[in-house]
Amino acid sequence: MHYLSRYFLLSDHVNSNVLVPNWRISALRIILTAGLILCFSVFCHTLNAAIEFNLIYIIVLAASFSVTMATLLIASRKYFTLCAHALLLSIVAATISMNVFLTDINLAKVGSMYMYACPIIALMLLGVRTALGYAILNIVPFYFIINNVDISSLTSINTQLPNSDWYISGLLFLFFNICIPLAVARTIVAAKRLNQTMAESNSHLAAKKELYRTFFTESSIAKIIIDSDNTVIDFNSQAKTLFGFKATVKNSTVKLDKLLPNLVIVANQHKDQVFKYKNTYKTVHCQQVTNSNS
């Protein structure tokens, strides 16, 4: 189970690809694995009948799609985008093949419905634009179905594999009821994990905001935050009252030495400093805080 989880990238904690999230590669691998199993099963099950009726094209097509699925599966992690596009084009090629090599037009119509899966697969793997493109492209098989367009005459094939309706309908049933639902389920799991992570992050930020409010905003001690250039970033209400700062100072680039010219800021100084402000003397403690990204 651990091997399967690692191979299908069922975890979303550490991405295997810096540009593509795990769940997309995982969904692609699930579809390709299911497609490989289906294509190889058809190849094995139709081999004897294809040889008996001298239907070499059946063997060639089944073997070609099996090899294609296997190749894409192997390359799916390193070349995700290329493999995703190749998968969609393979579905289109399978639809065309069914329309060309099936002599039964009603069965060819069923085969045309395979392309209806392209938009949802493209949406999961590549995004809205690609999905929209395949949705528009689906007008072609839809037109073929409603107008009984028969392109099998392009070939000189007159014999059809026995029980072809079982293969075409069965593959369609498995494709839409097992293959795609598994990929969609993986996407939903990833979305739930992302929502949970965002909720935890929001809770953490809320806790930090509360801590900031307690120790800075509502502190009884005047506090001022400056950056490495001594520009004033923020100050609490006590500092505003004590030094008469205006609220607009926070949104400007005013430096602290302009507001408090008698105060000397020394880097890495941990001792308290006494400086004169108007007719009084104030004690200042400087504390350097390192950014978490530095």
Q: What pLDDT sits at residue 181?
A: 93
Query: What mean pLDDT do residues 89-118 have?
Result: 93
Q: What pLDDT sits at residue 26?
A: 92
Q: What pLDDT sits at residue 291?
A: 58
Mean pLDDT, the chain, integer:
86
Q: What pLDDT sits at residue 269?
A: 63
pLDDT class of 11 with cuts at 50, 70, 90:
confident
User: For residue 31, what are its two tokens?
Assistant: 């579809």
Q: How far apart are CA 275 and CA 260, in angstroms?
A: 9
Look at residue 251 and tell me whether its pLDDT is greater than 50: yes
Q: pLDDT of 171-186, one tens digit each?
A: 899 999 999 999 999 9
The type of residue at 68 is T
Query: What mean pLDDT do residues 156-162 have?
Result: 80
**Closest by CA position to 142, among listed 93, 99, 181:** 99
pLDDT class of 127 with cuts at 50, 70, 90:
very high
Query: What mean pLDDT do residues 259-277 have?
Result: 75
pLDDT class of 286 with cuts at 50, 70, 90:
confident
Mean pLDDT check: name the lowest of 10-14, 75-79, 99-103, 258-262.
10-14
Look at residue 293 and tell me whether its pLDDT is greater than 70: no
Q: pLDDT of 14-30, one tens digit each?
A: 676 668 888 999 999 99
Query: What mean pLDDT do residues 251-257 have?
Result: 80
